[in-house]
Amino acid sequence: MCGIVGYIGTKKASPILINGLIRLEYRGYDSAGISTIEQNGLSIMKDKGRVKNLYNLDGIDNLKGTIGIAHTRWATHGKPSKENSHPHMDNSKTFSVVHNGIIENYNELRNFLLDNGYTFYSQTDTEVIPNLVHYYYKKETGSNQAKFLNAFKKACNDLNGSFAIEIICKDCPDIMIVTRKDSPLVIGKGENENYISSDIPAILSFTRNFYLLNDLEIAVLSRDNIDFYDKDLNAIQKNAEIIGWNALSAEKDGYEDFMLKEIYEQPTAIRETIGAKLSENSKCEFSELNITRDYLLNLNKIYIVACGTAMHAGLAGKNVIEKLCKIPTEVDIASEFRYREPLVDEKTLCIFISQSGETADTIAALKLCKKKGAKTLAISNVIGSSITREADFSIYTHAGPEIAVASTKAYTSQVILITLLAIYFAEILDISNSEIKKLKKDILELPKKIEETLKLSEVVKNFSKEVYQEKDMFFLGRGIDETVAKEGSLKLKEISYIHAESYPAGELKHGPIALIENGITVISIMTDKKLVEKTVSNIQEVITRGAKTLVVTNQNIKEDMFDMTIKIPETNTFISPILSIIPLQLFSYYISKEKGLDVDKPRNLAKSVTVE
């Protein structure tokens, strides 16, 4: 969703800002713009369409300002258009603002400002912000800088909703002010220059030192300094976080697309996520968690809450937690959970999975569980992300930055991390059996097996070429394989725009089989020995009705029944989703390529869904 970038330093700001926006493109957007402070005041260059269109705007090359803000907009209030694009100025052209999130009381504020003589030129909620700051600025006394800061603070106090805001003022060319609430924003510290971004990868090539703001904290950036304040403008101290990712990890590194690169990074992502937590002969270790046997014994249930792919990882988590630890575990979609009046209390452990750590519904669900007295545990890929700052405990996948909108390596890393968590819980509960021993061994062998699975790429590519023009596809599986069917189907929808449905194979007869007709593609996953025969007979039913079948399996089945069988390495059923999803990731990828689509930035989607 919307992305923001900011720069204050000694270099010309405009190319740095545009470059930063290009790196945030993957978040999804429909218009872009920048604003800098020039000799003659504030300049704004913006338009709907791609970031690179900014290079064609008249006068863009003449900008010289060394301070500026920038934005990619994903329309919420008002259609994508030049007027609605950010940055927005106040009527007197003193302030320029970019904003992510939603100002919920903007109508009320707009009416208040209209009554006070202000005019609005866009349909956005954002335009109230610079005008409200101006309203207070006029009333302040003291230095321009003090007036700016006080006015900004007063305006922020009036805002309801979620926001990450950057603001510059033509009267104060040496500072930029930022704040955030429930919306992502990071501050990068450089040498005589400072940066703002919606996320870390966009500015990784400039710095590895980052400051993170808590809700409603304010930062004032100058060229060589950053001052932090709480919402009442009391000065506060912050320490920079040094981020381990390097700039190359946010580049394509020779791959055609980020998605392909990220699919191939899975062996490393899994190795890194396992890290030192697991060895064959000692207990699984999560030193960052403080969970006791009594606490686990007293739990009434575990809730796993997430959205999209992260929720699918949660389904794999439920399977392993229930089977190993015998703790009832429910999985829910965050946007449903939060309005469901969920049965959560102090005896419930609530686990939230989010690659970005910024998904609005997941964060809201976490806050709800905290209110109800439950312990909250966040699983995220982004150190310091909002969800990890809200949760009682946080554990991290170490997948490195995931840029492609379609999640791949984050999913498999989430599955492995939650499996390790289940082992950790089981060992705290003194459950130690041959099943756990075997699982540990299988986990340690997994990265090699992922490498083997990736070698199937050409086979998958060839099948993709046969079916890329199809309109509908079905994904079937039983047990753990059904969770992979869900994820495979989501991947295909997202990046190939082919309608895909996933079903538990046994449910087919209860309705969906009516849709099976000659030539339709049915993909099935069969990795659970106990269920494979049952699934095979379900597939037989679709073959009889003329379906074209692709099977992903690690079992010895009669392959000649199917149009294509992809044989993946055998592994433990608990972690089989990590291998069986890989051919399906590749399948979606190659179909999307065959159709000539933008794999990394599919239409209508955003990497990080920061609004409800």
The catalytic site residues sit at 2, 607
**Strands annotated E in 215-295:** 218-221, 226-229, 235-236, 241-242
Phi-psi group of 254: left, alpha or beta (phi > 0 → left; psi -120 to 50 → alpha; rest → beta): left
Question: Strand order in 375-380's β-sheet?
Answer: 329-333, 301-306, 348-354, 375-380, 393-396
Please tell me the number of Cα atoms within 13 Å of 301 on its side-chain side. Answer: 13
The nearest distance, CB 205 to ligand AGP, in angstroms, is 23
Candidates 201-209, 210-218, 290-298, 350-358: pick the segment binding ligand AGP (CB under 6 A).
350-358
Binding residues for ligand AGP restricted to 302-331, rule: CB under 6 A: 307-310
The nearest distance, CB 442 to ligand AGP, in angstroms, is 25
Q: Which is nearer to ligand AGP, 156 or 584 (by Cβ)?
A: 584
Distance CA 548, CA 562 (A): 8
Q: Which is nearer to ligand AGP, 94 or 380 (by Cβ)?
A: 380
The nearest distance, CB 246 to ligand AGP, in angstroms, is 22
Q: Which is nearer to ligand AGP, 355 or 553 (by Cβ)?
A: 355
What tokens were used for 375? 């312990």
Q: Which is nearer to ligand AGP, 413 or 535 (by Cβ)?
A: 413
Please tell me the number of Cα atoms within 13 Å of 163 on its side-chain side. Answer: 28
Count residues binding ligand AGP (CB under 6 A): 15
User: Which of 35, 43, 72, 355 is close enough to bind ligand AGP by CB under 6 A?
Assistant: 355
CA distances from 405 to 150, 200, 257 (A): 39, 16, 11
Q: Which is nearer to ligand AGP, 186 or 307 (by Cβ)?
A: 307
The nearest distance, CB 502 to ligand AGP, in angstroms, is 14
Contacts of 274 (CB under 8 A, 6+ apart): 416, 420, 443, 444, 447
Distance CA 193, CA 600 (A): 31
Q: Which is nearer to ligand AGP, 28 or 479 (by Cβ)?
A: 28
The nearest distance, CB 260 to ligand AGP, in angstroms, is 14
Q: Give 157-218 as a DSSP string.
A: HH--EEEEEEEEETT-TT-EEEEEESS--EEEE-SS-EEEESSSGGGTTT-SEEEEPPTT-E
> Using N-to-C axis directions, what is the helix angle for 434-454 and 576-594, rounded to 10°?
20
Q: Which is nearer to ligand AGP, 407 or 535 (by Cβ)?
A: 407
Residue 571-610 contact track with ligand AGP, rule CB under 6 A, x = bound = -------------------------------------xx-
Contacts of 501 (CB under 8 A, 6+ apart): 472, 473, 474, 475, 489, 512
Binding residues for ligand AGP restricted to 469-498, rule: CB under 6 A: 494
DSSP 389: H
Binding residues for ligand AGP restricted to 393-452, rule: CB under 6 A: 405-407
At position 500, the amino acid (one-letter code) is: A
Q: State which residue has the least CB distance to ligand AGP.
A: 308
The nearest distance, CB 609 to ligand AGP, in angstroms, is 5
The nearest distance, CB 427 to ligand AGP, in angstroms, is 27
Unique residue bearing structure tokens 């009705």: 545
The nearest distance, CB 538 to ligand AGP, in angstroms, is 27
Q: Burial of 434 by CB count in 10 Å (0-12 exposed, 13-18 middle, 19+ buried)? A: exposed
Largest interatomic CA distance in the chain: 83
Question: Hey, is 606 helix, strand or coil?
Answer: coil
| Cβ atoms of residues 48 and 57 within 8 Å | no
**Contact flag: residue 356 with ligand AGP (CB under 6 A):** yes
Residue 74-93 contact track with ligand AGP, rule CB under 6 A, x = bound = --------------------
CA distances from 357 to 106, 276, 386, 396 (A): 26, 23, 6, 10
Q: Which is nearer to ligand AGP, 439 or 599 (by Cβ)?
A: 599
The 3-state secondary structure of 303-357 reads EEEECHHHHHHHHHHHHHHHHHHCCCEEEEEHHHHCCCCCCCCCCEEEEEEECCC
Paired strand residues for 69: 6, 35
Q: Which is nearer to ligand AGP, 443 or 611 (by Cβ)?
A: 611
The nearest distance, CB 408 to ligand AGP, in angstroms, is 8
Residue numbers at the binding site for ligand AGP (CB under 6 A): 307-310, 354-356, 359, 362, 405-407, 494, 608-609
